[in-house]
């Protein structure tokens, strides 16, 4: 029963995050913090100290994503990271790893579709190649400023879809 509540809470939280990210371009703490706290509580009730450890490990994996993102030049926004951390607290580290893999694949597909739709795919690919060359060959720090003039991809969509894929893989 507790697993079903965590499953439902994860889906509801992801759906609300998609709405707020599309509508306002943000994933609010009021969406993610209750999910994180609920994950800690539910997993503690279900598994005692071992359940609490599962939630903390899920949070740690999410924090690891933050560190990687920060080192590579802020690939994900703060709300995206907090959403992943909350998913980790609710579902645990293995689930979150599957979510991250699925989210990355889905996010890449959505990014290509968005770039094709707006006619900027070639320009973005050139920019990516130049950035990677400068980073690897010339040791220039990667600068990933968010250009507000281009199309925006609310990444909560990819995270929510990645979460659904992870549910299918891990839970079914």
pLDDT digits 0-9 by tens, 64-122: 999 988 887 778 899 999 999 999 999 999 999 999 999 999 999 999 999 898 888 88
Range of the domain at 65: 2-171
Of 26, 10, 17, 157, which Cα lies nearest the Cα of 89?
Answer: 10
Longest dimension (CA), the chain: 55
What's the rounded Cα separation, in Å, for the pair 139 and 7?
Answer: 44
Residue 61, both tokens: 């994996």
User: In the prediction, which pLDDT does 18 show?
Assistant: 97
What's the rounded Cα separation, in Å, for the pair 8 and 51?
Answer: 18
Q: How many structural domains does the chain have? A: 1
40-76: per-residue pLDDT in tens? 999 999 999 999 999 999 999 999 999 988 887 778 8
What's the rounded Cα separation, in Å, for the pair 129 and 121?
Answer: 12
Rounded to 10 deg, the angle between the 2-24 and 156-166 helix axes is 160
User: In the prediction, which pLDDT does 88 show?
Assistant: 97
């Amino acid at each position: 029963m507790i697993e079903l509540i965590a499953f439902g809470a994860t889906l509801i939280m992801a759906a609300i995050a998609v709405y707020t990210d599309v509508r306002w371009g943000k994933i609010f703490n009021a969406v993610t913090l209750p999910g994180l706290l609920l994950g800690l509580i539910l997993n503690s009730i279900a598994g005692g100290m071992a359940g609490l450890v599962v939630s903390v490990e899920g949070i740690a994996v999410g924090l690891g994503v933050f560190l990687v993102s920060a080192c590579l030049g802020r690939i994900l926004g703060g709300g995206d990271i907090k959403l992943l951390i909350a998913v980790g607290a609710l579902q645990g580290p293995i689930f979150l790893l599957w979510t991250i893999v699925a989210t990355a694949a889905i996010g890449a597909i959505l990014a290509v579709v968005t770039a094709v739709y707006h006619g900027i795919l070639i320009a973005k690919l050139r920019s990516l190649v130049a950035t990677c060359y400068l980073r690897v060959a010339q040791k220039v720090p990667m600068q990933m400023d968010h250009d507000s003039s281009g199309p925006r991809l609310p990444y909560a969509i990819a995270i929510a879809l990645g979460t659904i894929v992870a549910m299918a893989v891990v839970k079914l």
